[in-house]
Amino acid sequence: MRQKTTRRSHQPGCLKLLLALCSIAALAAACTSAPEVHTYTLGTGSPPQTLRKKVVIEENLQPAFLIDVAPVVVPAQVARRQLVLQKDPVRVQVMEQERWSTTPADEIRQRLSANLSAVLGTFEVASIPYPADQPVYRISVVVQRFESWYASHTLLDTVWTVKPRTGTTMLTCHSTYSVPVGGGFGELVKGHQVAVSELSNEIAAAILAAQQDSPAPSKCIRGGMQMAAAGVQAKLRAGPR
């Protein structure tokens, strides 16, 4: 009987120990659970309307020309899925839980393609066959600065070109957009959307001007095509003057 009584006296202690172990396990699981990741894209929203109001588009007609948007080049420090905040001119902060759905280069290219197609009443043929006699404009964009200043502004600084498939004459242009934003990462994304839409408007205007043989926009120069590296090599060969 004494042995039986002794076994019963250990049960409350064992229960307390079991409850303590369960509490520790639950606490450890809560501490090690991954924080929520928020994902953003530039691909949503309405296309810019500034030029669309000036261009009469008949949906049933064949497009007058096609577009080919080349892969966009962005600075190496922002060529990642995570949003990168600019803290000051020399410091950035990588936000692990705030991410783009694809890389910024892909986000910008997709947004440009959608905007230009909507504004100009055409479509993109970057990776599909198209008729050989159809006019095609090749658009290339190099992003020099893609900055996100939290609760302040976004900055998009670009050099871009428009070149018809046939011929060597092209437009080379420089555009910079600073968009004020409020607090929140969603506001930063909206600021970048506005900047890319403004860039779309400028590119669309340049294409329409080229079609009408109008003077080049004020931010652009018009001339024959030559690779920058080739130009540098030619100057080196020529030597100092």
**CA 92/CA 77 separation, integer angstroms:** 9
pLDDT for res 241:
45
In 3D space, the residue among 241, 235, 103, 220 whose CA is nearest the CA of residue 162 turns out to be 220
Instruction: Tell me if 8 is assigned to some domain.
Output: no
Instruction: Tell me if 162 is assigned to some domain.
Output: yes
Query: CA end-to-end span of the chain, whole Å?
Result: 113
pLDDT in tens, 5-50: 545 555 666 666 666 666 666 665 555 567 899 999 998 666 656 5
Burial 121-149 (b: 16+ CB within 10 A, else e): bbebebeeeeeeeeebbebbbebeebbbb
Instruction: Tell me if 6 is assigned to some domain.
Output: no
**CA 66/CA 211 separation, integer angstroms:** 12
pLDDT for res 59:
58
Dihedral sign for Cα atoms in the order 54, 192, 145, 155:
positive
pLDDT in tens, 226-237: 766 554 444 445
Region 177-191: what's the mean pLDDT?
97
Instruction: Tell me if 175 is assigned to some domain.
Output: yes
Does pLDDT of 194 surpass 70? yes
**Maximum CA extent, the chain:** 113
* pLDDT interval class at 214 (50, 70, 90): confident
Instruction: Tell me if 7 is assigned to some domain.
Output: no
- The count of domains in the chain is 1
pLDDT in tens, 70-128: 999 999 999 999 999 999 999 999 999 999 999 999 999 999 999 999 999 999 998 88
Instruction: Tell me if 134 is assigned to some domain.
Output: yes
Residue 48's domain is classified under what CATH number?
3.40.50.10610
Enclosing domain of residue 47: 40-227
